[in-house]
Amino acid sequence: MAAVSDERATLFRVRADRVPSAFVKRRSSLFALGSLLLVSSLHRCKTTQSPAPVAPVAVVERADAATAAVVDAAPDARPAEARDVCAAVLARSAQVLATVPPTNAWREQLQTFGRCVRTTRGAWAIVLDELRPIADAEGAYEGTWAIVHLDDAGREVRATRGGTWRDYMNAELQSMALFDYDGDGEQELLWSVHTNVNEGPDLHASGVTTFARGAIAAFANTAEVSPTAFEDVDSDGRPDLVGSAPYVGEGDDSPSGFSYNMNGPSLLWRSLPNGAFARDDAAAQQYARRACPARVNTVFARTGEIEASTAVVCARLWGVAPAAVHAAINRRCESVAEAESARPSRRARCGDVRVLHRWVDLAPPLRLQ
């Protein structure tokens, strides 16, 4: 696949079904769970040709390795309309990809790094930065990829992250889109990465990234969101954020010794015209009721099946006292010792109860009533 430059900034509304079962490991890409819709632009700049659709791109990420740097490159003196600010950054990414043999098992994931989307003042890109073969793993690579902001003169600022591509990891950049949340004329970058891990918890990273005062950073109060979807829930033309935070954790009580993902129900961060996000207004409450339609004082309903992670979070959103929720978990769910023993238990398997107990003690981001 060749590197792709999208000529002008376009906002796509990206939708996905909610995160799958809270403690069943996610082995397929996040947006494969639902429909990934790239809808026509809510913001479209004048252009001489139609913008190319933003295709899914693959990335693997380690969130603990991130740096930002300004690339000291001579600015392009040509008029803005006469130059392609994406050309140089895409060419360097293609050169890095060219070091990987065409028959390599991970080339399909790697080659999707090479996306550049024009904005009103420059462009955003996600590209390969560096690749190194892993000596003791045939065909495997480690290296870095980067989120890059370019101005109309071609000057770059990079946020670089470490990654690994090998037999037990594969990843996808599932969305890359633009929207000007704060109305300053410079579009923010909306992106989402899902890394499938064969034996261990899958990794999800996403965000709303902005460029301000010469630096790339998380936009406003979105740093802790890690959205699982960007969705215009209230049809006001502004992409809202959907995610499970703060109810996100990692279970570690499996007899196999491998940890796994635990996630609460999907909640809403509704985008406001001033660039802020509302978590407890009428729209957010209505969205939360999709998973939590009614108060259950006993936490776990007597009829029907519901994930423990959803039941626990819903009870707290409806105002059930922490002590009552802790007690319900202890009555219904296997202890850590029971789960690790792999012996049959008369109590339900609820995931790692330590994670559930931690969630109970968190301050709920909204109150249902």
Q: Are 30 and 195 in contact (CB under 8 A)?
A: no
Spatial CA neighbour of 338 closest among 324, 323, 348: 348
Q: Tell me the mean pLDDT in the region 13-31.
A: 35
Going by C-alpha positions, the residue among 234, 209, 192, 166 that lies closest to residue 34 is 192
Question: Helices 322-332 and 308-317 sit at what angle, rounded to 10 degrees?
Answer: 160
> Residue 262's pLDDT is what?
93
Rounded CA separation 63/82 (Å): 37
The three-point CA angle 30-33-39 to 5° equals 85
Helix (H) or strand (E) holding 355: helix 353-360
For residue range 180-225, list pLDDT tens digits in order: 999 989 999 999 877 878 877 788 888 999 998 899 999 988 988 8
Within a 10 A sphere around the Cβ of 331, how many other Cβ atoms? 12
Alpha-carbon radius of gyration of the chain:
22
CB atoms within 10 A of CB 200: 15
Sheet architecture: strand order including 122-133: 4-6, 115-118, 122-133, 141-151, 156-165, 62-71
The model's pLDDT over 313-356, given as tens digits with 9 standing for 90+, comes to 999 999 999 999 999 999 999 899 888 887 777 788 899 999 99
**In the chain, where the domains are located:** 4-231, 254-369
DSSP 32: G
Q: Model confidence over 167-176: pLDDT tens digits?
A: 788 777 778 9
Residue 287: in which H helix or E strand, if any? Answer: helix 282-288
User: Is it the case that residue 67 has pLDDT exceeding 60?
Assistant: no
Cα dihedral 49, 9, 11, 212 in deg (nearest 10)? 180
- CA quadruple 5, 78, 11, 65: dihedral positive or negative? positive
Main-chain dihedrals φ then ψ at residue 22, nearest 5 degrees: -60, -35
Residue 172's Cβ-side half-sphere holds a number of Cα atoms within 13 Å equal to: 11
Task: Indicate the pairing of strand 215-218 with strand 156-165.
Answer: unpaired
- The pTM score is 0.76
Q: Which amino acid is at 172?
A: E
Q: Which residue has the higher pLDDT, 359 or 176?
A: 359
Give the model's pLDDT for residue 241: 96
Residues whose CB is less than 8 angstroms from the CB of residue 47 and which lie 6 or more positions away in sequence, other chains included:
7, 8
Q: What is the mean pLDDT of residues 119-137?
A: 92
Residues 6+ apart with CB under 8 A from 167: 105, 137, 140, 198
What DSSP letter does each residue of 166-210 carry, written as one string?
A: BTTEEEEEEEEEEE-SSSSSSPEEEEEEEEEESSS--EEEEEEEE
| Per-range mean pLDDT, top range of 95-109, 111-125, 237-251 | 237-251
Q: Quote the CA–CA distance of 58 and 114 in Å, as a whole number.
A: 10
| Residues facing residue 116 across a β-bridge | 5, 125
